[in-house]
Amino acid sequence: MDAEVFDSMGRLILESRYTNKGIDGIIFMTSSLQKTSIQEHRQQFPGLAHKAYFNFGGQGTMPRSALEAIINAHEYIQQVGPFSVEVNAWIAQQVASLRRAIARELATTPATITLTENVTAGCNIVLWGINWQRGDRLLMTDCEHPGIIAIVGEIARRFGVEVAVCPILATLNEGDPVGVIEQHLTPNTRLVVLSHLLWNTGQVLPLAEIVATCHDYPSQQPVRVLVDAAQSVGSLPLNLPELKVDYYAFTGHKWLCGPPGVGGLYIRQEVFEELQPTFIGWRGINTDERGRPDRWKEDGRKFEVATSACPEYEGLRTAIATHQQWGTKQERYQRLCQLSAYLWERLAQIEGIKCLKNSPPEAGLVSFQITKDIPCDRQGRSEADRERRERTSRLVKSLEERGFLLRTIAHPNCIRACVHYLTLPEEIDRLIAEIKQLSD
Shortest separation between residue 259's beta carbon and a second copy, angstroms = 6
Residue 51 or 430: which CB sits closer to a second copy? 51
Determine the Cα–Cα distance for residues 401 and 404; give it in Å rounded to an integer.
7
Query: On the CB side of 66, how many CA atoms lie within 13 Å of its CA?
Result: 29
Going by C-alpha positions, the residue among 240, 130, 116 that lies closest to residue 193 is 130
Residue 16 or 114: which CB sits closer to a second copy? 114
Count other C-beta atoms under 10 Å from residue 165's C-beta: 16
DSSP-derived 3-state class of residue 417: strand
Shortest separation between residue 380's beta carbon and a second copy, angstroms = 14
Residue 372 or 389: which CB sits closer to a second copy? 389
Residue 55 or 141: which CB sits closer to a second copy? 55
Task: Write the single-letter amino acid at 119.
Answer: V
Q: Are 267 and 247 in contact (CB under 8 A)?
A: yes
Determine the Cα–Cα distance for residues 136 and 177; give it in Å rounded to an integer.
23
Residue 8 or 133: which CB sits closer to a second copy? 133
Shortest separation between residue 9's beta carbon and a second copy, angstroms = 29
Residue 104 or 430: which CB sits closer to a second copy? 430
Shortest separation between residue 390's beta carbon and a second copy, angstroms = 11
Q: Is 291 exposed, middle or buried (0-12, 13-18, 19+ CB in 10 A)?
A: exposed
Shortest separation between residue 195's beta carbon and a second copy, angstroms = 14
Residue 21 or 50: which CB sits closer to a second copy? 50
Shortest separation between residue 127's beta carbon and a second copy, angstroms = 9
What DSSP character marks residue 204?
B
Compute the Cα dihedral for 109, 115, 120, 122 and give only its sign.
negative
Shortest separation between residue 367's beta carbon and a second copy, angstroms = 14
Q: Are 301 and 284 in contact (CB under 8 A)?
A: yes
Determine the Cα–Cα distance for residues 209 and 98; give it in Å rounded to an integer.
30
